[in-house]
Structure 1
Amino acid sequence: MNPLARKIAAVIADEGPIGLDRYWNIALFDREHGYYTSREPFGRAGDFITAPEVSQMFGELIGAWVVAAWRALGTPAPFLLVEIGPGRGTLMADMLRTIGRIAPDCMRAVAVRLVETSDRLAAVQAATLERFDLPIRRVRQVRELEATPAIIIANELFDAIAMRQFVFDGEAWRERCVTISGSGRFEFVLNRRANDLPEARVAGASPLAGAVLEWSPAREALAAELAERLALNGGAGLFIDYGHAATGFGDTLQAVHGHAFADPLDRPGECDITSHVDFAPIAAAFRDRGLAVSPVVTQGAFLLSLGLRERAEALGTPADAENRATIEAAARRLAGANKGEMGRLFKVLCASSESLSLPPFGLDAAD
């Protein structure tokens, strides 16, 4: 066992089996050994590559979207440009570079806020963004943001927030927990009946024995918090993540290490743990606060509607054949629907204090 595994094992020995959400939070966010607090997860040298790391085109298009949203919201000045979970700062840097180039008036109005819990990543973000002469401040929680109109961007945020799993045993739902096997390894066990599982999550369902239901109270709570601040202060939020538009049954828990799938219970703190995002309750949280909510659309449709194809052509025209092929491959990876491409698996949702006449509003909902 590594040091974090020993720490989790001690908790289980003292308290008994723990919920998947608690295991998840310790594995990812333990202050000393947690994955996001102690490792470099991003890029080719890390464990996975996010869309901003695939190509500058992703951040450029999102930057153009920010300008259009700012204008549609009445050009508030000042306004907060907030990124939650900014990674290495790549997306924010590409957005700011684009905003400065196409909309100097928007650039003069912006105050950048980075919502980041990891001190290590916050230092990386500061170094990435130090070239911008802007008011840039890091906060640890959404509640620390000023009561100012905001445009909030979150790419691969909700998938990192812990969820719980429940298994139907033929009669009732039981929570899947983590315990220690006789051989000293972590394993799953169905420990207790799910007395706190909301009826709305399973109403009308006819599951077969063995069906798995995933529920993330923490994701829904964050969506509700964001909805409250957008409703009170005005603004818009753009949320991009991999997942599904409608709630259903299925086990989507996964871990990644070295760009390959790994056992979520093996080497805690050394592997990323994620699951597919259920966008339905997140969208519902925004609607419940009276916000305008777009359909959940695919990342491919969203980026193509913003001009991904045209931007790739503009970048590729003066390039040599090798670089042009690299640009074209990056565009396919961002918007394509084939294996290894992000266009269909990743979804996009927007919530705004007023309806916006720009994507993802007006696009066809994802399946």
Structure 2
Amino acid sequence: MALCLGHPSHGYYMKQDPFGACGDFTTAPEISQIFGELIGLWAASVWQAMDAPASVRLIEIGPGRGTLMQDMLRAARALPGFGAALSVHLVETSPVLRERQRETLAASGVAAHWHERIDHALEGPAIVVANEFLDALPLDQFVRTQDGWRERLVGLDGEGRLAFGLSGESDGSLAIVAPPGSVLEQPAAALEAVAAVARHVAAEGGAGLFIDYGPARSGFGDTLQALKRHAFVDVLAEPGDADLTVHVDFARMAQAGLATGAAAQGPVTQRDFLLALGLQQRLEALSLRATPAQAETLASGAERLIETGPTAMGDLFKVLAVADPKLPMLPGFDLHRLPEQG
């Protein structure tokens, strides 16, 4: 998975822009500007809760086209002092996407800084945002057999084609009870990414926000999938030419954050989070200044963000924050204070 997505020459993300209607998938920032604006207001609220430090890093991990950061910055300027205090940092390994991000942010008036690794971006008080980043990190899979857990591997079949197989010996370190045939996913890279952010904000101040698709509770199952032109394809059929993703185990991500001494808030559904931040109110405000056609586009985009159902974004996507334990409950996570939606 790491090679297919990140190989310097042939990796999926290294050689193309996969976002939008002409790409292979569409993310929330590309669906509606309201998404990024609300995240920007969330970041501004966190800065206030931090007692408004004179300098804070606004960091995005896996910034895509730069659309989310662009919308965040537009909204962030609504809070006096925040725009002057922040410096923008983007964690991106793809040269193609870095160039797209530069183009997107050129009109923002902010001097952005790019980093290859998360730990290179983390310095001092920080507010970190990662939307659909964790799902692209590689993991290990183990299959329960009669003699224990055996790792799922990729090799060649008799005709020289890529195929899945199992390791010859079971892994004795996995003392987890499950029926034969169960698949256990071990997302070490995602857990370390969350832990790195959590460890930093617990020590230096700030918070990290992770938005992705996956269950709120841990379980078993093979969640590896491949996407091309907005449709699912065989995960081994087109290495380097299809997007590979996995579902994020948010319960384990929260545990990884807590283990560093940070506070974990959530996970909550994307629907509840965005409604708590004022999605309906923002939609109404934008619609007042829009043409009928623009208002219809705004409404359909907002509805897609919060739509309910097993595969709809509002329910499938979850939101988790890891934060300095000295901070209060952050906006979007105190669901007992949801605004009336009428």
TM-score exceeds 0.5? yes
Give the counterpart of 1:182 among 129, 152, 158.
158
Note the residue ranges of structure 1 that are not aligned, 5 or more in a row.
1-23
State the match for 2:12 in structure 1: 35
1:362 and 2:339 aligned: no
Shift of 1:197: 4.9
1:281 and 2:264 aligned: no
Q: Which amino acid aligns with 1:235?
A: G
Give the counterpart of 2:22 among 45, 50, 57.
45
Q: Distance in 2 between matches of 1:340 and 1:283?
A: 22
Partner secondary structure for residue 323 of structure 1: helix
TM-score, normalised with respect to structure 1:
0.88
Alignment of 1:208-227 (within 5 A): 208-227=179-198
Shift of 1:189: 0.6
Give the counterpart of 2:120 among 126, 138, 144.
144
Partner secondary structure for residue 255 of structure 1: strand
User: Are the structure 2 counterparts of residues 160 and 251 from structure 1 closer, same or farther at C-alpha, using a change threshold of 3 Å?
Assistant: same
Deviations 1:103-124 (A, max 9, x none): 1310000000001111221111
Shift of 1:41: 0.8
Q: Distance in 2 between matches of 1:109 and 1:198?
A: 47
Give the counterpart of 1:75 among 22, 41, 52.
52
Q: Distance in 2 between matches of 1:324 and 1:338?
A: 24
Deviations 1:124-150 (A, max 9, x none): 111111122223110111221253100
Partner secondary structure for residue 247 of structure 1: coil
State the match for 2:298 in structure 1: 327
**CA-atom RMSD, angstroms?**
1.6
Decide whether the 8 Å contact of 1:349 with 1:360 is kept in 2.
Answer: no
Partner secondary structure for residue 82 of structure 1: strand
Deviations 1:29-63 (A, max 9, x none): 11001000012111111000000000100000001
Decide whether the 8 Å contact of 1:114 with 1:139 is kept in 2.
Answer: yes
Note the residue ranges of structure 2 that are not aligned, 5 or more in a row.
337-342
Decide whether the 8 Å contact of 1:350 with 1:360 is kept in 2.
Answer: no
Q: Which amino acid aligns with 2:316?
A: L
Q: Distance in 2 between matches of 1:106 and 1:34?
A: 37
Among the aligned pairs, what percent are the same residue?
A: 45
Q: Distance in 1 between matches of 2:112 and 2:28?
A: 23
User: Are the structure 2 counterparts of residues 197 and 333 from structure 1 closer, same or farther at C-alpha, using a change threshold of 3 Å?
Assistant: farther
Deviations 1:191-210 (A, max 9, x none): 234527554xx2xx3x2111
Give the counterpart of 2:91 among 115, 122, 128.
115
Partner secondary structure for residue 67 of structure 1: helix
Decide whether the 8 Å contact of 1:294 with 1:360 is kept in 2.
Answer: no
Decide whether the 8 Å contact of 1:254 with 1:274 is kept in 2.
Answer: yes
Decide whether the 8 Å contact of 1:39 with 1:270 is kept in 2.
Answer: no
Partner secondary structure for residue 213 of structure 1: strand
Shift of 1:363: 2.5
* Residues matched between the structures, number: 335
Shift of 1:180: 0.9
Q: Which amino acid aligns with 2:256?
A: A
